[in-house]
Amino acid sequence: MRIFIDADGCPVVDIAVRTAKRYGVGCTIICDTSHSIQRDGADTIIVDKGADSADIRLVNLIGAGDIAVTQDYGLAAMCLSRRAIVLNQDGRRYTEDNISGLLEFRAVSAKIRRGGGRTRGLPKRTLQQDRDFERALSEILGNNI
């Protein structure tokens, strides 16, 4: 088991790395050249800047039982197809039961934006969201070690 973090724009890199260390689980940060993110206790893979270069690299590395941390529904779907466990930055677990609806929501939102409409951005991150993420990741690691 290993944790792979889609680190470009990820607010929980430090929490994920710290939690991985606590459970003795390997952790890999994947980012592009515009977001060089390195932390003690984690490997970092820096890929060329490109639309999905970090996502593609992560999917090629992840395997069954590994954990992906991402807020990207498309990447989450690809990781699920490789039988990985997938969490978002708030500790929500993506599953085969909820990913289709999330992908549909993403497509509708993109259509609205292409048509000149606006969609709501994310509200300011809270300490409770950080706690929820850490609790969810710790629960997964505690159950699988």
Residue-range domain boundaries for the chain? 2-144
Residues 12-47 have pLDDT tens digits of: 999 999 999 999 999 999 998 887 788 999 999 999
Residues 41-85 have pLDDT tens digits of: 999 999 998 778 999 999 999 999 999 999 888 899 999 999 999
Q: pTM for the complete prediction? A: 0.85
- Is the domain defined by 2-144 classed in CATH 3.40.50? yes
| Dihedral angle sign, alpha carbons of residues 16, 22, 27, 31 | positive
With beta carbons less than 8 A apart as the criterion, state whether 128 and 111 touch: no
pLDDT of residue 123: 79
